[in-house]
Amino acid sequence: MTGVSYAMAATKSGGPEVLERIELAVPPPGPGEVQIAHRAIGVNFIDCYFRSGLYPWPDPRRLIPGAEASGVISAVGAGVTGLKSGDRVAYTLPNNAYASARNIAAAHVVKLPDGISFEAAASVMLKGLTARYLLKDSYELQPGQKVLFHAAAGGVGLLAGQWMKALGVAPVGTAGGPEKCTLALSHGFAEMIDYGQDDFLEAARRLVPEGYHVVYDSIGKDTLLTSLKCLRLHGTLVNFGQSSGAVTDFRVSDLAAGSFHLTRPVLFHFTSDRKWLERAADELFGLILDGRIRVQIHSAPLSSAATVHADLEGRRTTGSTVLIP
Ligand SMILES: NC(=O)c1ccc[n+]([C@@H]2O[C@H](COP(=O)([O-])OP(=O)(O)OC[C@H]3O[C@@H](n4cnc5c(N)ncnc54)[C@H](OP(=O)(O)O)[C@@H]3O)[C@@H](O)[C@H]2O)c1
């Protein structure tokens, strides 16, 4: 039976104000799909990249942002095995999550263990699995290695800080302002640089004069070239975002300053491997259940998506924000 969902959608790219409430028909799930009644929806920078038009829309007529959510299966399409109505589940996949219900291919969905709340799951499917590939796949961190991680008090940052501590790493983080620095220090970071106050290159070099094995940079335009200067010889720069804007002035020859390595990974190239998704989600849920990762969650109604976008882009958030339909 076709049901009705409500969603936050845009018909043109632009600022947060382009997001409007719409009603949406949700048909029965097709073959290989499940229908999920959402309970919590994670907000991520990628939602802003799509909304603003930085990333092209899959359908130029309309965008429903949202790339991670949790909920309860309300219907199952033909050929789906291992999932049934009533199961508590979560997923990460670009777009269409800012809705009270949706259909999605079962291959993207994982079951939630008892003890993982809908809010926690919707906070970590995208951000926590990102932390996982950053620390174990894009670069395989070893205990004691020197790490610099930008935007340490953000959604990915607070999860990554705790995961690095669990791996025996004492990371240095950067954040804008003393409150964010204090928060990051209580989420696994051993040292913090307030790049609102300090020149982060000078501070990073003072803390680790020999240079870092790896720098994780999701800020892009404002930091990338300086991040390279923080590396030791043969160090690795992992650029995984552009919160300050796209990098336009990088040249391949910049890597010659230290025989550096550079990678620009994307989560969905890891989660498209079902085995990786299951293993990484098990690991992440395990770390939350045994208390080594705490999730910092702020909740807001789904209808307030525009305000939440403005806060995220305005650097006024810490940790994860979830929208509740
Ligand atoms: N490639 C991937 O697979 C992947 C997956 C997930 C996330 N990401 C990227 O990871 C980053 C973090 O995502 P998130 O959702 O967890 O966001 P977030 O870190 O919670 O928020 C972004 C933070 O970036 C910092 N920032 C620095 N300059 C900024 C500017 N000019 N405008 C806005 N923010 C600025 C701000 O922290 P301070 O005030 O402390 O500087 C801000 O809070 C994003 O760039 C996102 O695109 C990439």
- Segment 77-135, tens digit of pLDDT: 999 999 999 999 999 999 999 999 999 999 999 999 999 999 999 999 999 999 999 99
Which of 264, 197, 201, 196 lies closest to 228 in space, CA to CA?
201
Burial per residue of 173-184, b for 16 or more beta-carbon CB atoms within 10 angstroms, e otherwise: bbbeeeebbebb
Residue among 222, 241, 231 nearest 148 (CA): 231
Q: Looking at residue 196, what is its pLDDT?
A: 84
pLDDT at 1: 65
Predicted pLDDT of residue 198: 84
CA of 35 to the centre of ligand 1 (A): 30
User: Contact at 8 Å (CB) between 289 and 116?
Assistant: yes
Binning pLDDT at 50, 70 and 90, where does residue 197 land?
confident
Task: Please compute the mean of the pLDDT values over residues 61-82 and round it to a whole number.
Answer: 98
Q: Across residues 127-150, what is the average pLDDT?
A: 98
Atom of ligand 1 nearest to the CA of 174: 40
Nearest-atom number in ligand 1 for the CA of 319 is: 20
Cα–Cα distance for residue pair 157/138, rounded to 1 Å: 16
In whole angstroms, give the CA distance from residue 267 to residue 97.
Answer: 17
Is residue 58 very low, low, confident or very high in pLDDT (cuts 50, 70, 90)? very high
Atom 14 of ligand 1, nearest CA residue: 155
For residues 229 and 255, the answer to whether their CB atoms sit within 8 Å is no
- Does the beta carbon of 151 lie inside 6 Å of ligand 1? yes
CB atoms within 10 A of CB 315: 17
48 within ligand 1 shell (Cβ under 6 A): no
* Domains of the chain by start residue, with CATH: 3-126+270-324 (3.90.180.10), 130-263 (3.40.50.720)
Report in angstroms the alpha-carbon separations of 150 from 21, 162, 222, 263, 264.
34, 14, 11, 16, 15
pLDDT at position 250: 96
Cα 150 to ligand 1 centroid, rounded to whole Å: 8
Model pLDDT, residue 223: 97
H or E element in which residue 203 lies: helix 200-207
- The predicted pLDDT at position 56 comes to 97
The Å distance, Cα 46 to ligand 1 centre, comes to: 9
Q: Confirm or reject: Cβ of 311 under 6 Å from ligand 1.
A: no
Q: How far is the CA of 90 from the centre of ligand 1 (A)?
A: 22
Q: Is 137 in the pocket of ligand 1 (CB under 6 A)?
A: no
Q: Which pair of structure tokens corresponds to residue 153?
A: 């008090």
27-46 mean pLDDT: 98
Mind listing the pLDDT tens digit for each residue in 247-257?
Answer: 999 999 999 99
The Cα–Cα gap between 189 and 54 comes to 31
Query: Does residue 210 have a pLDDT over 70?
Result: yes
Q: What percent of the chain has pLDDT over 70?
A: 100
Q: Is residue 125 within 6 Å of ligand 1 at its C-beta?
A: no
| Residue range 132-151: mean pLDDT, rounded | 98
What integer is the mean pLDDT of 299-309?
Answer: 98
Distance 218 CA to ligand 1 centre (A): 6
Of 67, 68, 82, 69, nearest in space to 32 by CA: 82
Shortest-distance Cα residue to atom 9 of ligand 1? 241
Q: Check pocket membership of 130 for ligand 1, CB cut-off 6 A.
A: yes
- Averaged pLDDT for residues 10-27: 97
3-class DSSP state of 320: strand
Q: What is the number of the ligand 1 atom nearest to the C-alpha of 245?
A: 31
Instruction: Compute the average pLDDT of residues 197-219.
Output: 96
Binding site membership of 5 for ligand 1 (Cβ less than 6 Å): no
Closest approach atom of ligand 1 to CA 267: 3
Whole-angstrom distance, CA of residue 35 vs CA of residue 5: 11
Ligand 1 contact, 218 CB (< 6 A): yes
**What is the longest distance spanned by two Cα atoms in the chain?**
64
pLDDT band at 2 (very low <50, low <70, confident <90, very high): confident
